[in-house]
Structure 1
Amino acid sequence: MSDISATGHAPRTCDDALRRAFGFLGKRWNGILIATLMNGPAGFAELRCAVGGISDSVLSGRLSELTAANLVERLVDPGPPVSVSYQLTESGRALMPALTALTAWAWENLPPSVAE
């Protein structure tokens, strides 16, 4: 079968890596949590307040996903009292330039009503 369609053009495809990146980072809250952690480590309650509108169970699930993807690490301070915080890993910090550029682009090109 030919790579050329009936119109004489090659079919359009999306790079698989880009598809995976947007699929993961575009999942509700994941990109926002990573961006929030760009400012440094934060505890669970601090993240919940910073993000706003996220339930405890969803936040817990998203943090587990981000940890499993090696973008965030969970830090436990044995205390007393015991405290848990989250911070970006090296892979998570590698996203900072892209997220900063995306944020600047959004400020310049997307009216606030688009996201609502």
Structure 2
Amino acid sequence: METQPHGFRCGQRQLRVFRLVGKRWTLPILAALMYGPTRFSDVVRAVPGVSERVMSERLQELCEAGLVERRVAEGPPLGTWYRLTPHGEHLRPAIESLLEAAAALPE
């Protein structure tokens, strides 16, 4: 991370993360995964309004970025599970802060 005499300057790594988490649905998906390994269908239920197609896209992007891990459980029953990687866990404090801020807002 670079700093300027007058404050923050975004580097390439920071821009990459900001672009990814700034995409619609990414933060709610990450928040849903903070509680341990989660099945795809449970992530869809945890984030109302997101389509399965968009959920798949976001999860794939998060996996490619190294923030989320995908595991396929050999059945029966078959299932796909997602969890935060150690790199994804670095986002936990920021997500928790956002959740606290959201809870403090008036309804």
TM-score over 0.5 for the pair: yes
How many aligned positions are there? 102
Deviation at 1:21, TM superposition (A): 2.8
Root-mean-square deviation over aligned CA pairs: 2.1
Using structure 2 for the length normalisation, give the TM-score.
0.81
Which residue number corresponds to residue 83 of structure 1?
79
Percent of paired sites with the same residue: 41
Structure 1 moving runs of 4+ over 6 Å: 10-13
Using structure 1 for the length normalisation, give the TM-score.
0.75
Gaps of 5+ in 1: 1-9
Q: Cα–Cα, structure 1 residues 101 and 12, in superposed 2: closer, same or farther, change >3 Å?
A: closer
Instruction: Kindly provide the CA deviation profile for residues 24-82 of structure 1, in whole angstroms up to 9, marking residues without a partner as x.
Output: 10100111111110011111111111101111111111110010001111111112222
One-letter amino acid of the counterpart of residue 69, structure 1: A
Higher share of residues assigned strand: 2
Deviation at 1:106, TM superposition (A): 3.4
Which residue number corresponds to residue 104 of structure 1?
100
Q: Cα–Cα, structure 1 residues 101 and 13, in superposed 2: closer, same or farther, change >3 Å?
A: closer
